[in-house]
Amino acid sequence: MYKRYYNCVLCFIIALLTTVSKSQAQDLPKELYVAANIPDSLKENANSVVRYSDITQNVKGPGKLIVKHHTIVTILNEKGDHEATMAMQYNKKYDTYSGIEMHVYDEKGVLIKKYHKSDMYDGAADDGFSLVTDDRFLGVKHTIASYPVTIEQEYEEDETSLIDLDTWYIQNAEQSVQNEYYHLSINKDAGFRYMNKNINIKPEKNMADNIDTYSWKVLNLKAVKPEEGAVSWRVLPKIEFASNYFEFYGMPGDFSSWGSYGKWLRSLYADVSTLSPEREVEIRKMTDTIKTEKEKARFLYNYMQQNMRYVSIQLGIGGLKPFPATFVDQKKYGDCKALSNYMSALLKAVNITSYSAIINAEANKEPADPLFPFDSFNHVILCVPFKNDTTWLECTSTTAPFGVLGSFTENRRALLVTENGGKLVNTPKSTAQENQFDSNTHIVLDGDGGAKAQIKILGTGEYRQEYIDMSAMKTDEQKEALLTGLGIKQPSAFDFTFGKDINGTKEVELNLEFDKFCDIKSGDKQFYRPLAFTLWDQTVPILEKRKTDYYFDFPREKKSVTTIDLPQGFEVETLPTNQALKFTYGNYEVNYTYDAAKNQVTSIAKFNLTNHVIPAAKYTEMQQYLDAIVKAQNKKLVIRRKA
């Protein structure tokens, strides 16, 4: 990860801070500070209300701007507490802040607290994963005693290093807007561009002395409560700003196209992407008996995974330029861009072409827009364009199979940094068959309603990675994750092992004992849910009209075979009915059989989700389908004592 702004992490860090006080006077209308003046329509679904916001951005030249911020936000309840945090990230060499003030007002608009820059914590910005970074942050958090409370923030930022101009995040989730204004001035020859996202407003434009000035305003915008399963970038309004020319850490660049930006990035790699001649000879000797390019790449990827480790160090050029491949080779560590660059150098040593690819990582993150060049990236992977196919490599993982990305970076656009400039391409999308959960369970019931169960799980794709990650947890955390994730009743005894990881399949074995496994005992009858765990338990709310698509993390295929040995002296009275349920993007089926000779019940259940993004028009169908699955899994197996 290398993105300069870590806003979410900063809020977490600053939440640990204590606060002190100072002062500033205000001259805006009193009604903006009084909570009672908020229209009722703006309180609906709102945790906070932007009473007033004025952001003025003066672009002085490529990479140089001054931004003035002035916001007044009324917090209505504890869900809006993050609005009482003031956090600003900066680099000492390129960012300076002045005029920093935060004022706190009670519901009647009476000033109750003041903060200045001298009251703020000033420290290294810990993004949660980097060992070292150039970035620092200023931060203060006001602890709220009662609601509503109004927070006013003002500051001015002077930046002399940037790629994009900024993004105007007009509205957070469950936040309404009473008055917002954004002003931007820039030289008319700068190639200024902007793009509306989830809002359709146009600025007023004026020109004087070769300077274009744009002014936007938003009034009385109601709060948006994102629907369950929606992604914020498809819902919340924002406007992205960019210009064709920039300067970042003293290096000028052209962002008029993805191609030109890729050329600039390529220049950062020019002197760091080759191993020493002696080391290249060693790499060729390591692979000289391997016949195909793809198998050589597989061997070298496994070599890197076994010998290098991920350490995030964001120093110099804003975290965009990787450490030299020779450094990684000697030190045995690097961050995403350094390890991707190192893997590329290994391939280069055996004459295999590859390209670093920058991407916006994390499941279901917003993809880059082909029509609007803008740096929204936070991660680097590697693309290897073989003659007959293209292979993608996640170089920060020591466990990822060769050529498998996973939900962290799949199914979006990446910018290849090629010798001819940047090229925006799609990363592959996994299929349900590549994310399999396959289980085999043996349950032995006793006559008192207790049971012993043995469960063996085989996981591929995302399930494999889930269990690999789980195996690194503390024992108590592993136990809780397994019981909760599988929906297992609380056992009286529980033992588990994370087994082999072979050919992209991870094994997990569970051994459980239950003092009470049956749901109901009535006379000589016992009622059971005929499963040791729930194959699928997720449901979604009933909605009259779904507005946005529903996002799962990934498509998947699940199978569960369960064998139940009945207690001696018991027989089946009622076997659950077989079920076959269908949905446009998946199906569920379960079949039960009873072998009277063995006194054994066997069930085979299958669930698959073929597409992880469900169109809004199919939401009701999905909701009914998922409800039906839960009902099917709650059907009871009834056994009785033989006469």
How many other C-beta atoms can be found within 10 angstroms of the C-beta atom of residue 70?
19
What's the pLDDT score for residue 129?
A: 46
In the numeric block, the tokens 């660049």 are attached to: 253
The least confident of 42-46, 127-131, 266-270, 500-504 is 127-131
Nearest to 128 by CA among 120, 119, 137: 137
| Percent above pLDDT 90 for the chain | 88
Cα–Cα dist 308/397, whole Å: 10
Our measurement of the distance from residue 476's CA atom to the centroid of its chain's CA atoms, rounded to an integer in Å, reads 25
What's the pLDDT score for residue 4?
A: 33
pLDDT at 1 over 80: no
> What are the tens digits of pLDDT across the range 595-610?
999 999 999 999 999 9
pLDDT at 11 over 80: no
| CA-angle at 82, arms to 226 and 66, nearest 5° | 100
Q: What is the mean pLDDT of the chain?
A: 92
What's the pLDDT score for residue 16?
A: 35
What's the pLDDT score for residue 17?
A: 35
Cα–Cα dist 404/598, whole Å: 44
> What are the tens digits of pLDDT across the range 468-491?
999 999 999 999 999 999 999 999
Q: What is the pTM of this model?
A: 0.90
pLDDT at 14 over 50: no
Q: Which tokens go with 294?
A: 């793809």
pLDDT at 113 over 50: yes
> What are the tens digits of pLDDT across the range 564-618?
999 999 999 999 999 999 999 999 999 999 999 999 999 999 999 999 999 999 9
How many other C-beta atoms can be found within 10 angstroms of the C-beta atom of residue 624?
13
- Amino acid in position 209: D
Helix, coil or strand: residue 502: strand
Strand ordering across the sheet containing 121-124: 85-90, 136-141, 121-124
Angle of helix 277-287 relative to helix 336-349, nearest 10 degrees? 70
H/E stretch holding 454? strand 451-460
In the numeric block, the tokens 């009670």 are attached to: 106
Mean pLDDT confidence for 528-555: 95
DSSP helix, strand, coil percent of the chain (3-state; round to 5): 20, 40, 40
User: For residue 259, what are the CA distances in angstroms to 90, 146, 242?
Assistant: 29, 53, 16
In the structure, what pLDDT confidence band is assigned to residue 5 with cuts at 50, 70 and 90? very low
Prior bond of 148 cis (ω within 30°)? yes
What's the pLDDT score for residue 7?
A: 37
What's the pLDDT score for residue 134?
A: 65
On whether the CB atoms of residues 246 and 260 are closer than 8 A, the answer is no
In the structure, what pLDDT confidence band is assigned to residue 8 with cuts at 50, 70 and 90? very low
Mean pLDDT confidence for 82-104: 91
- Amino acid in position 231: V
Cα–Cα dist 304/307, whole Å: 5
On whether the CB atoms of residues 173 and 265 are closer than 8 A, the answer is no
Cα–Cα dist 550/555, whole Å: 13
Secondary structure string (H, E, C) spanning 40-87: HHHCCCCCEEEEEEEEEEEEEECCEEEEEEEEEEEECCHHHHHHHEEE
pLDDT at 26 over 50: no
Mean pLDDT confidence for 372-378: 95
Listing DSSP states for 506-529 in one string gives EEEEEEEEES---SEEETTEEEE-
What's the pLDDT score for residue 15?
A: 37
pLDDT at 446 over 90: yes
Listing DSSP states for 132-172 in one string gives EES-EEEEEEPPP-SSSEEEEEEEEEEES-BSS-EEEE---
On whether the CB atoms of residues 56 and 183 are closer than 8 A, the answer is yes
pLDDT at 3 over 90: no
On whether the CB atoms of residues 297 and 352 are closer than 8 A, the answer is yes
> What are the tens digits of pLDDT across the range 399-430?
999 999 999 999 999 999 999 999 999 999 99
Cα–Cα dist 192/196, whole Å: 14
What's the pLDDT score for residue 133?
A: 61
Mean pLDDT confidence for 82-93: 88
